[in-house]
């Protein structure tokens, strides 16, 4: 008998990668992969807990699965279940609660649960201290750009963040395993690889001297991938030595997503971040001097406890000066078990959302200025095309500009030189030059 399984993946790129790997594992075990909105025999919800809203959304999707088929096996895994296993198990209809390890054995769990009457939720959630990196891989990607998880866990103890509690300490994927996975993805048509993790910059601290820059260099030299991109990086990684090596890797995309969080030193100190704005400013300047056309995106938290209007405006001014291509702005969300949840001077919710709107608006204006400069410079962009949207094909350039080209041709998976000619939303339109 063939069973149907549907997946819901919430949260970061690491969670999405894990869900893709799980989907391949379930297919190999004989399951038919269905849409989460379908009536399935098994549902797998890979949860997120980075904010209160993430927790709420995770519970919402669990209850949706139960409503769609009350007799289904409902498996819940991920960060929310790691942090709140009892609360997740108490949701009526949940069959099994797993944390952030041993995810790849869930097909076996599902088959076992399908073979017997449904009872209350079983729990297998354990402390992640000392837990090794769980082997997981994907052999294909839904697009020509694929994420590859190279690291799990975080050793930082930022005052606001529950992720170290949900993911445990840093564990790195073995370099040979990364190389094999990238080679397999390239053989299936992948053109661009995004190396990702919970704390990507910490890759290799458990590998006896082999670090992230070594891995990037080996992926570039030992595989046929055409472009390598990095996910979120901590600014303190960008030392002069690291920048010099990165600048020499021709396949590395000239785009970096820096985990800034605030442009105010006073706020960064309260957040317990390990850098200050001077270090970020110097790293960005060094990267711009070493890598032509490099762009930056970033994450910012506003409304952190004790953030005043003055320190918020410091963040606005810093982001404007930094000329970020894109800002991901979030209101501070208190997480139980973190120091900041008990800090004094909590910022009211309506004020946090006002600051989000202001920074987003300002960031978009800065980004449009940057894109207008690119258009005026008339420098072609190298674009990996991914999806069709009506008359247009859309992809991303080497420096992460979203590019739309009007065409009747199927450009899926193609790399083309495109001359940017106009603004389009948060990206540009253009014409193919080759």
Q: How far apart are CA 175 and CA 158, in angstroms?
A: 28
Q: Quick check: 182 pLDDT over 80?
A: yes
Q: Can you give the pLDDT at residue 29? A: 97
Which residue, 159, 154, 164, is CA-closest to 270? 159
Nearest residue to 4 via CA among 39, 28, 29? 39
427 and 392 assigned to the same domain: yes
DSSP at 138 = -
Closest to 62 measured CA to CA, from 78, 44, 42, 84:
44
Residue 209 located in a structural domain:
yes
Closest alpha carbon to 31 in 109, 95, 111: 111
- Are 140 and 206 in the same domain? yes
350 and 391 housed in the same domain: no
Regarding whether 355 and 271 lie in a shared domain, the answer is: yes
**Residue 118, pLDDT score:** 87
> What mean pLDDT comes out for the span 368-394?
94
How many alpha carbons lie under 13 Å from residue 123 in its C-beta half-sphere?
14
Q: Residue 110's closest CA among 57, 166, 32?
A: 32
Same domain, 297 and 327: yes
Task: Supply the CATH number for residue 392's domain.
Answer: 2.40.50.140
For residue 18, pLDDT beyond 80: yes
249 lies in some domain: no
Specify the 3-state DSSP secondary structure of 91.
Answer: coil
Query: Can you give the CATH number for the domain in which 21 is found?
Result: 3.40.50.12160
Measured distance CA(396)–CA(178) in Å, rounded:
24
In whole angstroms, give the CA distance from residue 18 to residue 298.
23
Query: Could you read off the pLDDT of 55-98 as tens digits, one per residue?
Result: 999 999 999 999 999 999 999 999 999 999 999 999 999 999 99
Same domain for 276 and 304, yes or no, is yes
- Within a domain: 244: no
Are 398 and 249 spatial neighbours (Cβ–Cβ below 8 Å)?
Answer: no
Beta strand extents in 290-414 (DSSP E only): 295-302, 326-331, 381-389, 392-397, 402-406
Residue range of the domain that includes 15: 4-124
Give domain status of residue 237, yes or no.
no
pLDDT at 51: 87
Crossing angle of the two packed helices 309-322 and 277-290, in degrees rounded to 10: 10
Is it the case that residue 1 has pLDDT exceeding 80?
A: no
Rounded to two decimals, the pTM is: 0.93
Domain count, the chain: 4
Whether residues 61 and 18 fall in one domain: yes
Assess whether 79 and 149 both reside in one domain. Answer: no
283 plus 317 within the same structural domain = yes
- Choosing from 231, 246, 271, the residue where a domain stops is 231
Mean pLDDT of the chain: 95
Let me know if residue 307 belongs to a domain: yes
What does the DSSP 8-state code read for residue 12?
S
Decide if 318 is inside a domain.
yes
Give all strands of the β-sheet with 145-152 in edge-to-edge order.
Answer: 171-172, 145-152, 192-197, 227-230
Q: In the predicted model, what is the mean pLDDT of residues 340-349?
A: 97
Which of 185, 214, 231 terminates a domain? The answer is 231
70 Cβ contact list (under 8 Å, min separation 6): 93
Is the residue at 194 inside a domain? yes
Q: Quickly list H helices, 190-252.
A: 212-222, 240-247
Q: How far apart are CA 204 and CA 182, in angstroms?
A: 18
* Of the residues 339, 359, 375, the one at which a domain ends: 375
Confidence of residue 432 (pLDDT cuts 50, 70, 90): very high
Examine the domain organization and report whether 76 and 37 are in the same domain: yes
pLDDT in tens, 146-170: 999 999 999 999 999 999 999 999 9
- Over residues 353-378, the pLDDT tens digits come to 999 999 999 999 999 999 999 999 99
Cα-Cα-Cα-Cα dihedral sign, residues 263, 264, 268, 271:
negative
**Inside any domain, residue 9:** yes
Give the tokens for residue 371.
Answer: 């894109």
Backbone Cα Rg of the chain:
22
pLDDT in tens, 284-307: 999 999 999 999 999 999 999 999
- CATH code of the domain in which 310 resides: 3.30.750.200
49/15 same-domain check:
yes
Token pair for 223? 């595989």
- Are 308 and 356 in the same domain? yes
pLDDT for position 166: 95
Torsion on CA atoms 241, 299, 18, 119, rounded to nearest 10? 140
Spatial distance between the Cα atoms of 430 and 434, rounded to a whole number of angstroms: 12
Contact assessment for residue 424 and residue 397, using Cβ atoms and an 8 Å cutoff: no
């Amino acid at each position: 008998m063939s069973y149907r399984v549907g997946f819901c993946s919430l949260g970061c790129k690491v969670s999405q990668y894990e869900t893709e790997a799980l989907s391949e594992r379930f297919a190999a075990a004989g399951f038919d992969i269905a849409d989460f909105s379908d009536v399935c025999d098994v549902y797998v919800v890979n949860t997120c807990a980075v904010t209160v809203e993430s927790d709420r959304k995770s519970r919402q999707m669990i209850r949706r699965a139960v409503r769609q088929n009350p007799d289904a096996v409902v498996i819940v895994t991920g960060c929310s279940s790691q942090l709140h296993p009892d609360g997740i198990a108490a949701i009526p209809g949940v069959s099994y609660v797993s944390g952030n390890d041993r995810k790849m054995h869930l097909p076996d769990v599902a088959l076992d649960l399908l073979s017997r009457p449904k009872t209350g939720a079983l729990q297998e959630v354990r402390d992640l201290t000392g837990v090794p990196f769980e082997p997981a891989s994907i052999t294909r990607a839904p697009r020509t750009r694929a994420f590859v998880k190279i690291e799990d866990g975080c050793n930082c103890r930022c005052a606001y963040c529950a992720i170290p509690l949900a993911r445990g300490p840093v564990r790195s994927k073995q370099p040979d395993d990364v190389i094999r996975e990238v080679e397999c993805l390239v053989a299936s048509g992948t053109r661009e690889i995004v190396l990702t993790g919970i704390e990507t910059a910490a890759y290799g601290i458990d590998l006896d001297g082999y670090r992230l820059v070594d891995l990037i260099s080996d992926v570039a030299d030992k595989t046929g991938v055409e472009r390598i991109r990095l996910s979120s990086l901590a600014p303190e990684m960008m030392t002069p030595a690291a920048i010099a090596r990165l600048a020499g890797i021709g396949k590395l995309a000239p785009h970096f997503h820096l985990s800034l969080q605030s442009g105010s030193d006073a706020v960064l100190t309260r957040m317990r971040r390990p850098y200050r704005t001077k270090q970020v400013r110097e790293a960005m300047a060094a990267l711009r001097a070493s890598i032509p056309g490099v762009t930056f995106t970033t994450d910012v938290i506003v409304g952190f406890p004790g953030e005043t209007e003055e320190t918020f405006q410091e963040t606005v001014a810093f982001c404007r000066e930094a000329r970020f291509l894109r800002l991901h702005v979030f209101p501070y969300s208190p997480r139980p078990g973190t120091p900041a949840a008990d800090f004094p001077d909590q910022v009211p919710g309506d004020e946090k959302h006002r600051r989000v709107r202001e920074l987003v608006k300002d960031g978009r204006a800065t980004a449009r200025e940057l894109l207008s400069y690119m258009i005026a410079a008339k420098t072609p962009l190298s674009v990996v095309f991914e999806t069709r949207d009506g008359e247009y094909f859309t992809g991303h350039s080497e420096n992460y500009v979203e590019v739309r080209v009007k065409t009747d041709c199927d450009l899926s998976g193609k790399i083309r030189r495109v001359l940017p000619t106009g603004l389009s939303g948060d990206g540009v339109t253009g014409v193919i030059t080759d």
